[in-house]
A = this chain, B = another copy of it.
Amino acid sequence: MAQKFDVHIIGCGSALPTRRHLPSCQVVDVRDKLLLLDCGEGAQLAWRTTGLNWQRITHIFLTHAHGDHVFGLPGFLSTMGLLGRKSPLYLHGPASLKDYVEYSKAHFFDDISYEIHFEIVDTTKHQCIFEDRSMEVWSLPLKHRIPCCGYLIKEKPELPHIRKEMIDFYEIPIWAINNIKAGADWKTPTGEVIPHTRLTTPAEPARAYAYCSDTMPVQEMATWCEGVNLMYHEGTYADSESQLAEKYFHSTARQAASIAQAAKVKQLVIGHFSSRYDNENILFKEAQEVFENTILAHEGLKITL
């Protein structure tokens, strides 16, 4: 069975508050490590409804310095201190947010029990900005009114599965198993070479999630995010507001779908909805005309990759 790779939508509204949506925030659960993507106001309050454990948050990735993406951050960081967090927390985002975090810490929660490390992301480059045993995170340069970048979270391939019946048949000792998983063939006592591919079945293909908000359509996304399992792309406006989308450096739902189509992603979830829509049916319809496997984000939605 594939290991955990879930996306939890905490907020998918835009700048103006509504009764229906919170500002931007998501949690990505990769094999029980939690990554926060953006941290709009109210994130720490809504967090409680996810049932996830604060202690498992290892990284926060921030797209840009607009309030609806970061005004929940001081409260979130402060509360983790009150709850006794000890392990260091790694923040990644555009340069101006480093100052914001430092200012907030110095004025409001300088006594917290854990370290905060802020790593500045170059929002103009598509590159790997974080890597560990189980994943890589790549920056995705976005086109917004201020420096802004999305994030591509790529699972690392798992090792192939051992075929137990073959191991038993050839009486292969346990010490050899990891080598075989890593690609070594097996030589029997009689000198017969058994290719490792006969002793294993392939692992599930590595999965990937792309988070693209806020942005105008960026054509390079088709290459950077080719074939990802899930793409979240902002679709702030309907076709009828396409001039607003252009003016404010946002995308229409239809444009989001075109990017998803060009990138041949498996599924698209749109969000960052303008407050003008009482419901997002029009956005859903216009996106789905271009890319069928589209869904609408909503608070509390959990998508398993």
Taking Cβ atoms with an 8 Å cutoff, the residues of A that contact B are 15-19, 22, 41-42, 44-45, 47-49, 65-68, 71-72, 74-75, 78-79, 82-83, 96, 99-100, 103, 107-109
- Checking B15, B22, B45, B99 against A17 with a beta-carbon cut-off of 8 angstroms, the contacting residue is B45
A sample of 5 more A-B contacts (CB under 8 A), given A67-B78, A71-B108, is A16-B82, A16-B83, A19-B48, A41-B45, A68-B75
A17-B45, A19-B49, A22-B45 known; A75+B82 contact, CB < 8 A: no
Which B residues are CB-close (under 8 A) to A100?
107
> Which of A17, A48, A82, A96 is most buried by chain B, counting CB atoms within 10 A of its CB?
A17
Name the 7 nearest CB pairs between A and B, nearest first. A41-B75, A71-B75, A67-B108, A42-B42, A17-B45, A67-B78, A17-B44
A65 to B19, CA, bound (A): 28
Q: A41 to B83, Cβ gap below 8 A? A: no
With contact pairs A44-B17, A65-B107 given, residues A74 and B71 touching in the complex (Cβ less than 8 Å):
yes
| Chain B residues near A68 (CB-CB < 8 A) | 75
Residues of B within 8 A of A107 (CB): 65, 96, 99-100
Instruction: Give the docked Cα–Cα distance between A47 and B45 (Å).
Output: 15
> Inside 8 A of A17's CB, which chain B residues have their CB?
44-45, 47-48, 75, 79
What is the CB-to-nearest-CB distance from A300 to chain B, in angstroms, rounded to a whole number?
Answer: 13
* Distance between A40 CB and nearest chain B CB, rounded to angstroms: 9
Do A72 and B41 touch (CB < 8 A)?
A: yes
CB distance from A2 to the nearest CB of B (A): 32
Shortest beta-carbon distance from A36 to chain B in Å: 15
Which of B15, B42, B65 is close to A82, meaning CB atoms less than 8 Å apart?
B15
For residue A126, give the distance in angstroms from its CB to the closest CB of chain B: 27
Give Cα A44 to B107, complex, Å.
22
Question: What residues on B are CB-neighbors of A75 within 8 Å?
Answer: 17, 41, 67-68, 71
B contact residues around A16 at 8 Å (CB): 79, 82-83
